């Protein structure tokens, strides 16, 4: 069992629907309204989540009996339940001298740190996304903060549980092991950005353009929704042409299952979670929010250059 992280502990919480509340209240959706390094997630701040002790980021078993899963979720009368939320419980990092010692001797005890900014930053204590039955890595670099990696895994788990026989999802670049410049991206430097493929109706390749003919809108929407409801997403960049396909699908859902109005951009509201950006008809880009990793990154920013100079040889 990994040592308990001092910087942050990632906990799977049983109350699965709470993150939805946070999203619907718009809590995590505005980058310019971010609380500075809040020690807990917005859902926890609302006092809604029971704290459930658990190992660091275990993958909860998807043990929903097969008989309970509707064959075609889009037309199912009741919504397929969301995956348990991932909650970060941050603790105060130790004083600088102690922090230096920990970062040098037992970095795994500190957890992940996102240093600097996504366009000029680095990553400490990152976790690498692995290929799995639901995920196929397509990018050269798949390192992110632990919360980012667990959030992607959680969303894919939800899609696969709600839609049996889902194909594997391509995941492109996230970040280098230590972050920094990653060609050809401008961001992807601090472990908070991930390029993720769409789901297609038929066999597909990474970077395939999504169209009305090939996009699996039901699965793709389930994936995007699971990411948003996870509560750790700041923005999702999707080409407007694909947004239209998703919106057309969402309009077919029962009223209670449609997202809040401000998830997709409109002529009067552009600072929404989902936004248009050119080049995102072949994949979408998620900018995650990991306040604990950013807070630790701020504390480590001055220490890391010394530390990396002090490290003698790679492990």
- Does position 285 interact with Zn ion (CB under 5 A)? The reply is yes
**Nearer to Zn ion by C-beta: 13 or 192?**
192
Supply the minimum distance, in Å, between the C-beta of residue 122 and Zn ion. Answer: 17
- Does position 239 interact with Zn ion (CB under 5 A)? The reply is no
**Nearer to Zn ion by C-beta: 104 or 209?**
209
Binding footprint of Zn ion, residue count (CB under 5 A) = 2
Cβ atoms 252, 285 nearer than 8 A:
no
**Nearer to Zn ion by C-beta: 160 or 285?**
285
Q: By CB under 5 A, which span of 6-14, 194-202, 216-224, 307-315 interacts with Zn ion?
A: 194-202
- Does position 195 interact with Zn ion (CB under 5 A)? The reply is yes
Alpha-carbon span 208 to 306, nearest angstrom? 43
Supply the minimum distance, in Å, between the C-beta of residue 183 and Zn ion. Answer: 12
- Does position 234 interact with Zn ion (CB under 5 A)? The reply is no
122: which strand partners?
115
- Does position 157 interact with Zn ion (CB under 5 A)? The reply is no
Which ranges of 89-239 does DSSP label H, i.e. alpha helix? 96-105, 146-162, 217-229
For the chain, list the strands marked E by DSSP: 8-13, 85-90, 113-117, 120-124, 127-128, 135-137, 143-144, 169-171, 193-196, 233-237, 274-275, 284-288
**Nearer to Zn ion by C-beta: 195 or 290?**
195
Helix, strand, coil proportions of the chain in percent (round to 5)? 30, 15, 50
Supply the minimum distance, in Å, between the C-beta of residue 181 and Zn ion. Answer: 14
Chain contacts with Zn ion (rule: CB under 5 A) = 195, 285
């Amino acid at each position: 069992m990994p040592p308990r992280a001092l910087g942050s502990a990632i906990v799977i919480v049983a109350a699965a629907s709470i993150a939805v509340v946070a999203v619907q209240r718009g809590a995590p959706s505005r980058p310019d309204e971010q609380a500075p390094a809040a020690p807990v997630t917005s859902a926890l701040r609302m006092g809604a989540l029971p704290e459930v002790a658990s190992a660091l980021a275990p993958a909860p078993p998807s043990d929903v009996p097969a008989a309970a899963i509707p064959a075609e979720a889009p037309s199912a009368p009741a919504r397929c339940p969301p995956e348990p939320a991932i909650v970060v419980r941050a603790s105060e990092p130790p004083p600088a001298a102690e922090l230096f010692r920990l970062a040098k001797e037992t970095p795994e005890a500190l957890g992940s740190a996102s240093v600097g900014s996504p366009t000029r930053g680095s990553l400490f204590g990152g976790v690498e996304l692995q290929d799995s039955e639901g995920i196929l890595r397509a990018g050269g670099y798949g390192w992110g903060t632990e919360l980012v990696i667990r959030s992607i895994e959680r969303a894919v788990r939800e899609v696969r549980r709600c839609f049996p026989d889902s194909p594997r999802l391509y995941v492109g670049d996230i970040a280098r092991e230590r972050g920094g410049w990653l060609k050809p991206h401008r961001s992807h430097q601090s472990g908070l950005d991930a390029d993720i493929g769409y789901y297609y109706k038929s066999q597909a390749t990474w970077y395939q353009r999504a169209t009305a003919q090939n996009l699996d809108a039901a699965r793709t929407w389930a994936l995007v929704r699971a990411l948003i409801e996870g509560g750790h997403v700041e923005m999702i960049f999707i080409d407007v042409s694909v947004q239209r396909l998703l919106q057309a699908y969402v309009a077919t859902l029962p009223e209670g299952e449609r997202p809040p109005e401000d998830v997709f951009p409109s002529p009067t509201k552009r600072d929404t979670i989902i936004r248009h950006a050119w080049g995102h008809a072949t994949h979408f880009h998620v900018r995650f929010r990991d306040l604990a990793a950013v807070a630790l990154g701020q504390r480590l920013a001055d220490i890391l250059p010394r530390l990396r100079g002090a490290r003698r040889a790679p492990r």
